Amino acid sequence: MPISNWQGIFTTDKGQKISFVGKDASKNGKFYVLRTWFTGERELEWINGLVCLLDGRHDLQSNSFVCSGYRAM
């Protein structure tokens, strides 16, 4: 199962920046993602340190990703 390390920045439609770091693993069209989120945006500070786990699959027909996400508490 290949594992990749990711980091980047999402920009909301309001221009707010949210950074993330994490790892992804995939095999046979199924994937698992572990992400931690950080932002300096006061309105979104609840996201700082949030850990999420997603599992899903890549739908080849529609070329889209279908997933479920879970927040670690």
Residue 2 banded pLDDT, cuts 50, 70, 90: low
CA–CA distance, 71 with 54 (Å, rounded to integer): 9
Largest CA distance in the chain: 40
pLDDT interval class at 28 (50, 70, 90): confident
Burial zone of 45 (CB within 10 Å; 0-12 exposed, 13-18 middle, 19+ buried): exposed
**Higher per-residue confidence, 1 vs 36:** 36
65: helix, coil or strand?
Answer: strand
Rounded to the nearest angstrom, the gap between the alpha carbon of residue 68 and the centroid of all alpha carbons in its chain is 11
pLDDT for position 48: 93
- Can you tell me the distance from the alpha carbon of 35 to that of 25, in angstroms, rounded to the nearest whole number? 12
Given a cut of 90, is residue 6 above it in pLDDT? no
Residue 1: per-residue pLDDT: 61
pTM greater than 0.75 (yes/no): no
